[in-house]
Structure 1
Amino acid sequence: MPPSIKPYAITPYNFVPMPDRIVTGDPLPRWNSYASDRHTGWLDVEYTTLTPTYTRAARGAGDPADPPDFFHHFDEQRTPVLPGSSLRGMVRSVFEILTYSALDSISDRTLSYRFFASGQRELREYYSGADAALGTFDTSRLFAGVLEQSGLDYQMNVGNTSAPSADKGFVVVSVNDPGLRRYIRTSSQPHQPYRHMAPLYETQQVWVRLTGTATLLRGQQEIECPSADLAAPHSSGAVEGILLFHGKDIASRRWYQVILKPSSPPLATYELPQSVYRDYRAWGQMAHGKRFGGQDAPRMITLGAPAFTLVDRSSSKVTALGANLMLTLRYRRSLKDVARDAYSAADGLDMTQTVFGYVGNDNSIPPVRSRIAFEDALLVAAPNGIWMEVSAVRIPDILSSPKPTSIQTYLTQSTSEVEPLRHWDSPNVRIRGAKRYWQRSPSSAENSLRTAGDMAIGTQQTKIKPIRAQVKFKGRVRFTNLTSVELAALYASIQLPEGLAHKFGMGKNLGLGALDVSIVKVNLIDTERRYRTLDNAESYHSEEYGRTKLVDGYTELIKRIYPNSKLEKQTSLWNSRRLKDFAGLCSWEVRLEDDLTRQVAIQDSRNDTDEDTWKHNDDQWRRRLVLPSASDLIQEGRLMRQPSDVITPRLEKMIAAKTFPAVAATQQTKFEYKVGDSVTGRILPGYIVELLDTSGSSTGVRLRNLPVMMHATGDILQFKVVELRDGKISRVKKA
C-alpha cells in the first residue's frame, strides 16, 4: 500500500518482512575441545553514540525503584558503561534477520481484544456474537463469581445456594433504586440518573433481594438476567453481593451490576487455567501500564476479587476474564502460532539458535549452549562531554510497551481500504515481521527529552540520565568454535554497511540510541599452536588468514540464503526485498523526515499540534488506519540527509536501482600503491568498483564487495588505500 493512497498510519516503527523459509544452522561442535576447522577468538569493537542514548542502571543501596542513572559498575563517578547483555540483544536481533532465522523472541501468549464499539464491522461482529458463526461472545456461557486459589491452580466460585435462580452468579440493580443514594449522589438536573460518589472502578459490599428479570442490551445482543433491589443486611430473603462501579458515568445507564458472594460450597466451580490468568494480567499491563488497578483504570482481578468470566462449553474451563460485563476476550491463536504460519519450518535449529544458544519450552530439543559472549563496553572518549547540557537528568516523552493488539500495524492487511481488517484469528493472517524503529535526527531525539527540574511526573513517565552523541566506547565479543559461515554472519551483524546504524537502549521510538558500531580487529586464536609454544605472538592466526576465512564464510552464507541464485550475480546479503526494507529502517545518513516517523498519541491536544496534524492523530487510531510497508514509505517518502564529512550517499538512486552493495573484504590488485594514496572508482553492476586513472579511463583493475552502501551503478567515488600486501592494494576505504 503506497503512502500516496491516504490516509495511512504514521508510526516510529516498521517491520522487516518474515522470511519465506528458515535456514538451518551448522552442526553443533563438541564442548570439551577446540575444533581445528572452526574459529575461536574475539572481536575488538568500537561503539559511538549518534544520538542521546540511555540504558538504566541496576538499583543500588539507597537508590529509588527506577534510578535515573545510566548503567555503570558502581564506581565513585558512576562512569557510563554499555552492558554486554544489551549489546548482545542488539546484535542478536540483527543476526536473526540476516541469517533468515525464526523470530524466536515472539511471545507465546494470546492477546485479548474488545471491539464492542469499533467502527470495524467484521471485528465488532466477531466479538459481539451478532453472527453465530463468527461471534466469540456466547452469552449462555457468561458467569460471574470470585477468584480463588486451589493448590497451585486458580478457580472461579460462582453462585449462592440462597439464590439458586441466579445461577449465573450476578444480578442487576436499577439506577433508580433508592438504596443507591448511600453510594452515589443525584444529579442537580431533574430526571437525570444518579452519578458516582465513589471513585471509578470501586466496589461496595451490598445486600440484594431478587425481584424478577431484566434485559440488558449488549451491543446487538440481549442478555436476560435476574434483577434485584438493594436490601438491608441480613434481612429476610437478602443475599450478600458486590456492587460494581466501572468506567465513566453514562447518561443512558439503566442498571448496575452486582456479583453475588459465593456460598460455601458455591453453586458451581470453574477451573481458571494459569495461561488465561497470565494473558489477562499481560493485557492489563499493556493497555493501562502502571495505572492498571488504580482509580482511573479497570480493577486488577486478584485473589478474592469479583470477576466476570466466559466458560468453555466442552471443557468447563474459563476462557476469558474481566472486571465487568464488557470483558475482553482472548483470541484463539497465540502470537507464536501466527508467526510460525508465516514460513516453512527448518529441519533443525536455525543459525541464531546454534550460535546464541537455545532453551525450548519442552524437552523435545536439548538446550544449546551459547558460543559467543559480549563484554561490557567501557568509555574511552567523550570529546563534547558525557552528559547533556543544562541538566543531566531528563524526562522523555511517554514510553510504553508494544501494542500488538493494533492489528492495522502489526498484521499484514490485504487492502489499502480500512475495512475489512485482518485480526489474529483471521484465516491466512500473517504477522508483519521483525519490528524495527526508524532512525531519527539528533535534534528530534534531543527535543523529546525535557529538563526534569522539580516538575511532577505521572505514572507513565520516568526520569533518565542519557549520555550525549559522539561518546565512544570499546569492548570485546568473544566466540568459540564458530564455523567460517557463523563468524561471517556475526561480523556482518555487528558492522553494518556504511551509512547504517544500530538501535540501542531505551527510547528508540523517540530517536534515542542510534549507535555506530565498527569492528577494529579480528583476533583468531591458533588453538593448536597456542599450547605448543610459550611465545604468545605465535598463538594467533595472521590477519590475512582471518580475512580469507571471512570472505569464504560470507560467500557460503550468501549461497545458503539465496540457494537458487547464481553466485556471480549474488555478491551481497542485502539483495532481497526484506533486507532492503531492513537497510532503509537502519539508514542513518539518509532518513525519512522526522514527521513521517513520529510517535502519534492516541489523544493529541489541539493546542499542541496544528489542525491537520490533530485531525490525522484523531483519525489514525479511531479509524484504524493501515501502516504502509517500509519500502513503500522509502519510495514515496520525503527524505532528509544527515550532514557528514564524507560523501553523502544518495538514497534516491539506491531506491531507483533497487540494490544494496555488499560489505566484505576486497580482492588484491596487481598495481603498486602507498598507504594513503587516493583511488577513483566507478561502481559497476554486481557491486564491483572499477579503478580509474587520472583521465577517467579504466585501469582494468576491479575490486569487489567494497563498502559503497546506497550508491547506484555508474556512481564515481574516491577511495583511500588503507592497507597493502607486498605493495598491492589489500584494503581501501571510501574517502
Structure 2
Amino acid sequence: MAEKKRFVNPYNFIPFEGNINDKRISRETAYAKKSELLSGWLVVELTTRTPLIIPDGAHPKYWDIEKKEYINGEDEVKCRKNDIHKEYDFFRSPDGIPTIPGSELRGMLRSVYEIVTNSCVPFLLDEKPISRRVPVYGALCHHGLLAYENDHWVLYKATIVKKEAANGIYVNEKDDCVYVNGKKLPYKNGEYVEDLGWVQYNIPVNKSEYSIRFLKKGNEIVKKWEIRDNEPYRALLSALNRDGAGSGRNSNKIPNKNLCDALEKAKSGDKNLVPVYYMSVTRIKENGDDEVLVYLSNSSIGRIAQKIKWKDIMGDYVPCSSTDELCPACLLFGTTNGKGLKGRVQVTDATPDNVGKLTYEKHTLDILSTPRTSAFEFYLRKPTDNATFWNFDFYGEMKKYTLANGKEINRIEYYDLPEATPRGRKMYWHSKISKDNNKKRNLNNTVEAVNGKFRFKIYFDEITREQLDTLLWTITLGDNNLNSSLQHKLGHAKPLGYGSVKLQVVEQVIRYLSYNKQNERLEVTLNKITKENINIPSRLDTKSLAEKSILKMANVRSVPNNIPVMYPRGEDNKNRQNIYSWFANNRKNSASVKILPKPTDTDISLNINYYDEQNGCNDNNSMESSNRIDGIVRIKDEKYIIVDKGKNEYKIPNNQKFNPDLKNKQLKEGIRVSFKPYIYPDNKMAVNECRIEEEQ
C-alpha cells in the first residue's frame, strides 16, 4: 500500500502588494538633491552553505555513454545526440580561477531588491499563446463544427449522429495509423464519412476515456468572427501543437495531426468543417456591449488557448519603459526597455579568498524541467472561495442542477475573469541537496560544484541614502553575521538544494569629493567603515507581507528536517509515480483541489504518495515518463533485457502493473519494442507499458 507523506514544493511565490504606480518617479526627481547623493563601494564576502554550481556553458565535455569515455570533435557530437551525456566544469576566468560572474550576482540581488521595493517585473515571458488543459470535472461538453466561409470563421452547433467506444487504442508509427484492439480504424479524425457525418475523436488523457463521435452540422451559429480574424485558427492550432500534433510518441499524435490537416484544409478555402469541443464565457462590459468569448479544443479534456497576453496579465507590473516613470529597482539597477537607462550600481565578478581552500565536487543531476505556468493551483491566486478551476481568462464553480426527471446533478459553470492575478515572484526554499542520479544519460547533466569563500565589490555612483540602506538589507537580508540562517539562493539546480550562500558586507567605503582652493584641485576622501560598524536595518517594513514572505523563504530553518523538498509525485492508474500524475489526480475531484500554500503559512507542505520499490518506481522526473522510446530485446545473464539507442539497459518487471500487454512468450532476442522508461529509487531503470513493434 502507498503511504501518504508530506513534501514541500521546491518553489513558492512572494506576493505582489501595494500600488506600484505610487513608486514610479522620474530619475530627475529621484536624484534631485545632488549634495546628498552617495558614491563608493561595498566589499562583500560570499560563503557557500550548500555546493554552488555555476556551469561553464560555453565549454561542455561530451561523454560517450556506451564506451564510457570522452568524445572530441563537434561533428561526431552532432551526429550522436542520443548517446552523449554532457558535463560542465565550474565557470573559470581566463587564467583558470573559479569565478562567479558579476551578472549572476547582480541578477540575484536585483530580484530581492524588486521584492522589497515592490518594483516591476523586468522581463516578461514570450507572447506565444498560453494554453491549459481543463480538468476532468470541468470537461467541455459542447460539440461544434468550425467552418471558414467568405473570409469569416464560423462555429456551428453540432448534433451527435453516432458514438463508438474505442478502448485499447495505440498508434503504429510504421504506417501512421490508429489501431483499436488490433484493428486499423477506417476513418481519420476530422474527415467526413458518408451517411454518418464528421468524425470527432475524443483525444484521451487516459486510454479508457477514448471515444469517437460522428457529428452533423446544426443551423445555430455559436459565434461568427470578424472578417479575416484568425483567432480561432491560431487558438486551436496552438492547443493541437501543445498536445503533440505531428510529434512525440503517444496515442494522440496521429489523431491530432489529422485534425491539424482538416484545419489547414478549411483555412485554404476547402469547404471542410473541423469538429471541435467548445465552451463559451460572457465578458460583461460597462458600456453594455457584452462579448461572448469562445474557447476551442481537440477533446473534452484537452488544451484551450487563453486570449490574454503576458503584458495584460502583469498589469501595472510590466517592465518600466519611460525614464519619467521608473520603479525603485530600475532607478538603481537600470533598464534596457524603452530608451534604456544605465544603472547606478556595478557588481564585479566574485573570486576566491584563497583558491587553495576551495573544495570541488562532481554531481550527476536529475533532469530539471522548465517552468509550467499551466499549473494553475501553484501559479495563480484562487479567484473566489468556490472556484474549482481557474486560468488567466476564466474560472469555474460547481453548481447543482435539477433535471426534468427530478434528478440532481453537479455541473461546472464558467465565468469571465477580467483580471487574473499571478501568485507573485518565484523563489526557492533552502534544503539539503538531492541524491545524485548515478546513471549518465543524454537527458541529464554532470556538473562541477564548488564550496568555499569568494569576494566581490559593488560600486555605487550617486545614489540616495535610502537606496544604500535598502541595498545593504538586500545583500544581508537584515543579518550581517556569518552564521545567520538568512541566506540567498544562487546558480544552477536550486530546486535540488544547491546554491545556498550567505553574503556579508565586510567593508563600506563612501567617497567624498572636495575642491581645494589652495591647490586648485579636487581631492578625494574615503570614509571606510568596518563590518562591525556598518548600520544595517533588521527590517525595512515590518508591515510588508512580501518582506515577511521573503524572510520565511530565505531562512534555512523554515522547512522541517523530516519533510523533503521535492516536486510533486502522484500515482497513475498503474500505481506508478510521476509529476504529471500528481496534477492529474489533483484535478479529478472539484471538492478537493489542493493549492500551493502561502510562504507565510504555518504548514507549507502538501500531501504526496510514496511507493516502495516492489510496488512501483520512484520516477524523479516526468519528462522521462511522458514519452515512449524505442529499444531492442537482448539477453544478458540468461534474462531478457531491453537496450535503447543510447545503450541504456532496462529490466523487464514481471509485475503486470508495469507491462499488462506483454507476455513472456512474446519475447525473443532482436525484436523491436517501444516503452516508457521509469526509474526505481536506487536509479535502476525498468520498462513500462512495453509493446512489441516488429521483429528484426
The TM-score range, normalised by the shorter chain, is: 0.5 to 0.7
1:473 corresponds, among 428, 444, 454, to 454
Query: Cα distance, 1:584 vs. partner?
Result: 0.7
Residue 45 in structure 1 maps to residue 44 in structure 2:
yes
Query: Cα distance, 1:465 vs. partner?
Result: 1.3
- What is the identity, as a one-letter code, of the residue corresponding to 1:464? T
Residues 133-152 of structure 1: pairs in structure 2 closer than 5 A: 139-140=144-145, 142=146
- SS where residue 583 of structure 1 aligns? helix
> What's the counterpart of residue 718 of structure 1?
none
- What is the identity, as a one-letter code, of the residue corresponding to 1:377? A
Query: Cα distance, 1:436 vs. partner?
Result: 1.2
Residue 395 in structure 1 maps to residue 365 in structure 2:
yes
Structure 2 gap ranges (5+): 61-72, 79-84, 216-225, 264-273, 281-288, 396-416, 480-484, 608-696
- Output the CA distance in 1 between the equivalents of 2:38 and 2:457: 16
> What's the counterpart of residue 379 of structure 2?
410
> What's the counterpart of residue 433 of structure 1?
424
2:190, 2:200 within 8 Å by CA — same for their partners in 1?
A: no
Query: Cα distance, 1:440 vs. partner?
Result: 0.8
- SS where residue 466 of structure 1 aligns? strand
Change (3 A) 1:60 1:323: farther
Residues 568-607 of structure 1: pairs in structure 2 closer than 5 A: 572-593=540-561, 595=563, 597-603=565-571
Residue 214 in structure 1 maps to residue 197 in structure 2:
yes
Q: TM-score, normalised by structure 2?
A: 0.57
- Cα deviation digits, residues 318-352 of structure 1 (max 9, x gap): 99898889863222323442332799x99932101
- Output the CA distance in 2 between the equivalents of 1:81 and 1:271: 52
- Output the CA distance in 1 between the equivalents of 2:389 and 2:341: 40
Residues 689-728 of structure 1: pairs in structure 2 closer than 5 A: none
- SS where residue 54 of structure 2 aligns? coil
Residue 114 in structure 1 maps to residue 133 in structure 2:
yes
Query: Cα distance, 1:484 vs. partner?
Result: 1.6
Residues 218-367 of structure 1: pairs in structure 2 closer than 5 A: 253-254=211-212, 280=238, 284=242, 293-296=247-250, 306=261, 308=263, 328-340=303-315, 348-360=325-337, 366-367=339-340
2:524 corresponds, among 529, 539, 546, to 539
- SS where residue 516 of structure 1 aligns? strand
- What is the identity, as a one-letter code, of the residue corresponding to 1:517? L
> What's the counterpart of residue 16 of structure 2?
18
Query: Cα distance, 1:28 vs. partner?
Result: 1.7
- Cα deviation digits, residues 548-598 of structure 1 (max 9, x gap): 9x86xx88xxxxxxxxxxxxxx96434423311211111024533462632
- Cα deviation digits, residues 106-133 of structure 1 (max 9, x gap): 4364521221x522x3xx3xxx265xxx
Query: Cα distance, 1:383 vs. partner?
Result: 7.3
> What's the counterpart of residue 375 of structure 1?
348
Query: Cα distance, 1:601 vs. partner?
Result: 2.8
> What's the counterpart of residue 667 of structure 1?
none
- Cα deviation digits, residues 452-485 of structure 1 (max 9, x gap): 5xx434xxx32131314x4222222222222222
- SS where residue 467 of structure 1 aligns? strand
Change (3 A) 1:451 1:357: same
Query: Cα distance, 1:95 vs. partner?
Result: 0.3
Q: TM-score, normalised by structure 1?
A: 0.54
- What is the identity, as a one-letter code, of the residue corresponding to 2:550? F
- Cα deviation digits, residues 592-650 of structure 1 (max 9, x gap): 3462632213558999989xx99988844655411221111358999xxxxxxxxxxxx
2:494 corresponds, among 496, 505, 508, to 508
- Cα deviation digits, residues 389-444 of structure 1 (max 9, x gap): xxx24123x31111221111122226777x52333234354321112111113xxx
1:307, 1:321 within 8 Å by CA — same for their partners in 2?
A: no
- Output the CA distance in 1 between the equivalents of 2:424 and 2:532: 33
- Output the CA distance in 2 between the equivalents of 1:207 and 1:501: 56
Residue 490 in structure 1 maps to residue 471 in structure 2:
yes
- Output the CA distance in 1 between the equivalents of 2:18 and 2:554: 22
- Output the CA distance in 1 between the equivalents of 2:116 and 2:308: 28
- Output the CA distance in 1 between the equivalents of 2:115 and 2:464: 19
- Output the CA distance in 1 between the equivalents of 2:601 and 2:124: 25
Change (3 A) 1:633 1:41: same
> What's the counterpart of residue 711 of structure 1?
none
> What's the counterpart of residue 444 of structure 2?
462
Change (3 A) 1:541 1:382: closer
> What's the counterpart of residue 421 of structure 1?
389
- Output the CA distance in 2 between the equivalents of 1:383 and 1:634: 43
Q: Which has the larger radius of gyration?
A: 1
- SS where residue 627 of structure 1 aligns? coil
- Output the CA distance in 2 between the equivalents of 1:282 and 1:353: 39
Change (3 A) 1:218 1:92: same
Query: Cα distance, 1:94 vs. partner?
Result: 0.2
Change (3 A) 1:576 1:278: farther
How many aligned residue pairs are there? Answer: 503
2:237, 2:260 within 8 Å by CA — same for their partners in 1?
A: no
Query: Cα distance, 1:83 vs. partner?
Result: 1.8
Change (3 A) 1:456 1:69: closer
- SS where residue 87 of structure 1 aligns? helix
- What is the identity, as a one-letter code, of the residue corresponding to 2:466? V
Alignment identity in percent?
A: 18
- SS where residue 602 of structure 2 aligns? helix
- Output the CA distance in 2 between the equivalents of 1:102 and 1:340: 10
Change (3 A) 1:329 1:31: same
> What's the counterpart of residue 104 of structure 2?
86
- What is the identity, as a one-letter code, of the residue corresponding to 2:13? F
- SS where residue 139 of structure 1 aligns? strand
- Output the CA distance in 2 between the equivalents of 1:440 and 1:369: 36
- Output the CA distance in 2 between the equivalents of 1:326 and 1:616: 16
- Output the CA distance in 2 between the equivalents of 1:269 and 1:118: 35
CA RMSD of aligned residues (A): 5.8
1:16, 1:434 within 8 Å by CA — same for their partners in 2?
A: yes
Structure 1 gap ranges (5+): 1-5, 131-137, 146-155, 160-165, 198-202, 220-244, 258-267, 556-569, 639-735
- SS where residue 592 of structure 1 aligns? coil
1:8, 1:627 within 8 Å by CA — same for their partners in 2?
A: no
Query: Cα distance, 1:73 vs. partner?
Result: 3.9
- Output the CA distance in 2 between the equivalents of 1:281 and 1:81: 43
Higher strand share: 2
Change (3 A) 1:372 1:322: farther
- SS where residue 445 of structure 2 aligns? coil
Change (3 A) 1:586 1:477: same
- Output the CA distance in 1 between the equivalents of 2:532 and 2:236: 50
- Output the CA distance in 1 between the equivalents of 2:240 and 2:468: 38
